[in-house]
Amino acid sequence: MLLEQLTALLARTDITLTEQQKQQLVDYVGLLDKWNKAYNLTSVRDPQEMMIKHIMDSLVVAPHLSGKNYIDVGTGPGLPGIVLAIALPDTQFVLLDSLGKRVRFLTQVKHALGLENVTPVQSRVEEYQPSVKLDGVLSRAFASLQDMVQWCGHLVDDESRFLALKGQFPQQELDSLPAGVTLERDISLQVPELDGERHLIILKKD
């Protein structure tokens, strides 16, 4: 049922996935549903709702990632990092979270789905030092843009970007950005079956 739902949702986007990728996403929802009962990873309880609010909501970002190394800060149960890692197998994703139970879940997902391009890390973002140059810092429902820039500034140079998934266009947050960081692009995202606005906010250091 979930596979049919995912296939129908994908048909309403420009995103193309292999049968294996689709199965991995379905299996990920299964793991999320199973572990959620004990670990309380997400407030969304229904797997079909997860498919829209978590999977599709993360997948629509995939066409806008062009680099090869990203970090998903405050990844929680792997959103959007796990979803993007499945959709973009040639791109590396560090999944960072400060809570051990979430990182244990992510480690389980990595092994269960055979994801070679995922590195779960338990750390506070301010203390994390990447081993490779990052193309971008991703966040979804993690923090305000000001906090993201402040906490993740050491991860980004002139060539890499901050990428924040937001609901409504965050004008107030953009108005409060510190000097030296500007809005490069605002991409309006269309998520099938999801009500409300979705934006991918791309910030750069001047």
Q: Has 79 been labeled as part of a binding site?
A: yes
Q: Has 140 been labeled as part of a binding site?
A: yes
Q: Has 125 been labeled as part of a binding site?
A: yes
Q: Has 180 been labeled as part of a binding site?
A: no
Q: In Å, what is the CA distance from 49 to each residue of 15, 46, 55, 88?
A: 19, 5, 9, 23
Residue 120, beta-bridge partner list: 95
Q: Is 138 helix (H, G, I), strand (E, B) or coil?
A: strand
Q: In Å, what is the CA distance from 185 to each residue of 98, 129, 177, 181, 203?
A: 29, 26, 15, 12, 7
Count CB neighbours of 65 within 10 A: 20
Annotation: binding site for S-adenosyl-L-methionine: 74, 79, 125-126, 140
Binding site: what residues are annotated? 74, 79, 125-126, 140
